[in-house]
Structure 1
């Protein structure tokens, strides 16, 4: 089924202004303008973020929607894919953010706007645990883009987390997947973006 609705979820401290979000938004707008695109600014609370998403996609057609997520957004994308039973693409996804983000409890700045501050609360760690889908069978096809040179997350952990996914593992690279634009044709094929 051709994808008609596409959700993009940014990572921790990130925003819809991230390089990948902008590249994908421009690609959808210029090549697939019939596709409904949504890339919301996610609140720091995982529970609130998923409530926002669930409400936003409530009327979307499950059989023709898909979700793409990067880093923490990849972790969220796996949860959304279970909720909606839709295709998902994870880009250098966080595998265990409840473990990895504990050291970030406290005041944080937004990556794309250092003037913007938010507080990452201790209770958000438990909220992250509540969204863990590691032990669930994928509800729909998955694709994962992994850079072995990711300086933030362990690429082997990512690969092991998604054994059923179509895995595109590149040598080198970085957490931001700076060469993301090179993967757009593969995304088009996987998501059946006509």
Structure 2
């Protein structure tokens, strides 16, 4: 079971989410992938994710669980991976999103969904609850960063996940340009052979 966690002001219709959905459909396993539309509110978003994991554990306990997190989703995915001892792929992850959120206080609008909302210091403080101080099992992580990320400082990710297997590409951007080149690697790391058509 793969759970893709999108970033701040993103949605299940984003670039990487769409590529993952297409790949799951191609190998006839659309049910392996869950891409929730997460709330901007950290407390609500993490509750949404925990409910998805709980549902998975009740019905698909034999299938390995893997999180794929992009940007803010990478921050949540790290917390979930440590909580549930699962594999995780991090794509240009946010390491200290509570610092970045301060630049977005006030009125915001999600470019994908059109949702309008107010971001407050309470939301910033909520984010701090999901900080992971130590990566306990680096081998269950895969870090992917592009140095041309115009939103986040990729060096923070390299420092935070120093012991983690990594793909570091020069240039690129925050959305991880040409992510499709790595789909097979990402899915293989999560235990899915995307070269095989499942029945």
Same fold (TM over 0.5): yes
CA distance in structure 2 between the aligned counterparts of 1:160 and 1:68, rounded to whole angstroms: 20
Residue 56 (structure 1) aligns with: 52
Worse-matched range after superposition: 48-57 or 31-40: 31-40
User: Equivalent of 2:34, from 35, 38, 41?
Assistant: 38
The residue that corresponds to 1:151 in the other structure is 150
SS at structure 2 position matched to 1:90: strand
Cα deviations across residues 150-193 of structure 1 (Å, max 9, x unaligned)? 01111111111112221000010000112110111211221120
TM-score by length of 1: 0.91
Q: CA RMSD in A?
A: 1.7
CA distance in 2, matches of 1:183, 1:89: 11
Alpha carbons 2:21, 2:30 under 8 Å: kept: no
Aligned residues of 2:65 and 2:86 also touching (Cα < 8 A): yes
1:99 alignment partner in structure 2? 99
Residues 116-148 of structure 1, C-alpha deviations (whole Å, 9 max, x = no match): 212212101111100001334248600011001
Out of 5, 12, 17, the residue aligned to residue 8 of structure 2 is: 12
> 2: distance between equivalents of 1:44 and 1:34?
26
Q: In the TM superposition, what are the counterparts of 1:19-168 in structure 2 within 5 Å?
A: 19-31=15-27, 33=29, 35-60=31-56, 61=61, 64-113=64-113, 115-138=114-137, 141-168=140-167
Task: State how many pairs are aligned.
Answer: 189
Gaps of 5+ in 1: none
Secondary structure of the corresponding residue to residue 64 of structure 1? coil
Which residue of the partner structure matches residue 170 of structure 1? Answer: 169
Give me the whole-angstrom Cα distance separating, in 1, the residues matched to 2:78 and 2:62. 15
- Per-residue CA distance 1:52-99 (angstroms, 9 max, x = gap): 111111142387110001000010100111121110001000000011
Helix, strand or coil at the partner of 2:88: strand
- Distance (whole Å) between structure 2 residues aligned to residue 96 and residue 65 of structure 1: 25
Q: Give the conservation status (yes or no) of the 8 Å contact 2:139–2:165.
A: no
Q: Which whole-Å CA distance do the structure 1 matches of 2:151 and 2:7 have between them? A: 12
